[in-house]
């Protein structure tokens, strides 16, 4: 059975932006979904995967 994420949050900086994602908690990590299409489902990541992703974002590895 798939666990349903809880506590969905959207970044404060994206409050007026329509191209946003939301992050929710799951037992062993995080879930991400499209704010505009919540019914489409979500992706999940383990705690280690999520930490690595957030670290890469903070380090600017995805900056264009």
Per-residue pLDDT of the chain (64 residues; tens, 9 = 90+): 467 899 999 877 676 767 788 999 999 899 999 888 889 999 999 999 999 999 999 999 998 7
45 beta partners = 30
What b/e sequence results for 7-19 when a residue is b if at least 16 CB atoms lie within 10 Å of its CB, and e otherwise?
eeeeeeeeeeeee
Q: Quote the pLDDT of residue 1.
A: 46
């Amino acid at each position: 059975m798939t666990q349903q994420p809880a506590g969905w949050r959207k970044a404060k900086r994206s409050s007026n932006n329509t191209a946003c994602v939301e992050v929710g908690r799951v037992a062993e990590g995080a879930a991400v979904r499209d704010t505009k299409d919540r019914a489409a489902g979500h992706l999940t990541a383990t705690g280690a995967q999520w930490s690595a992703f957030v670290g890469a974002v903070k380090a600017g590895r995805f900056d264009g």
